[in-house]
Each structure stands twice: as C-alpha cells, then as structure tokens.
Amino acid sequence: MDRDFLIDLFSNFGPVTIRRMFSGYGISADGTNFALALRAGLYFRADETTIPQFEAEGSKPFQYQQRKSGKVVIVNSYWELPARLFDDSEELTGWAKAALAAAQRAALSKRPRRKAAKGKTSATKAVAKKTSAKKTASKKKKPAATKKARRKRA
C-alpha cells in the first residue's frame, strides 16, 4: 500500500496523517494513531468493544516473529481489516471511526498521573538533598575523631 492509496482510502473518513513506521505507515487522526498499514495488510486499533466485530469477520490480530528468538508475538490491540471493506468506503469509514474511538479510549486509560501524587515534590527533593549532604559531611568527620580517640586510648 502506498501513501496515495491510503489517502484515497480514508477520503470519506476525513483528514488523516500518514507517517512512515516500521515496514509501512502509521495512520492517525486528531493526533491519535488508529491504524497501521504494513506489508501484511491494514490493521485497525481494537479493544474489548470492537474486537468481537473483527472476530465475526474472521479477522486476526497483528502478529510478527522476533528475529533473535523466532518467537511469534501477537499484538491484540491491532486487528486486520476485512478485505471486503476496501471496496465499501462508507462501511470502512464506520470501522475507522470505531478504531479511532478505541485508540482514544486506550490513550485515556494510559494518561500519566501527577508527579506530586506519586511521591516527593521538587521542593521536598531539594530539602532531602540538603539533609543528605549534611549527613554525608557529618559522617566524614566522625571517623577522623574516632581514630584520634583510639590513638589516645592506646
């Protein structure tokens, strides 16, 4: 699949961004990647809501073989688009919208939490760093005093 074919394929869906990725292209809308066009075919983003639709069409999830180990890796978040949809632009548009929605749901569930909620704030870290530096300095002085005390005892 070349870039012009993909632009034509998604013309009813709306504006898409097509970027080189792996051995093909990543397709995104509104900054969210929702499809992959690879040598093996066109794959749409899927989740628990849309996977049954792909299964009903006999589609399979994206998979690849690792070079070193030869292990087959199955990527259950991208499923192959049924071949019949390449000839039905209206239905393909519906599937693309569902894939974009699945990608957006996945992005919402992966949003990072606020750093302050995870642990120390930057101000707390600065205080901890100063305290740690003081402890290190005081530890360096003690062994020297201890050596002098040992000499006096002997």
- Is 99:44 a contact under the CB 8 Å cutoff? yes
Q: Is the pLDDT of residue 22 over 70?
A: yes
What six digits make up the tokens of 132?
A: 């740690």
Question: What pLDDT does residue 39 have?
Answer: 85
pLDDT in tens, 45-67: 999 999 999 999 999 999 988 98
CA gap 28, 33 in Å, rounded: 4
Question: What pLDDT does residue 151 have?
Answer: 64
pLDDT in tens, 72-84: 999 999 999 999 9
Q: Is the pLDDT of residue 134 over 90?
A: no
Integer CA distances (angstroms), 8 to 16, 21, 30, 92, 112, in order: 10, 19, 18, 12, 36
Give CA 122 to chain center in angstroms: 27
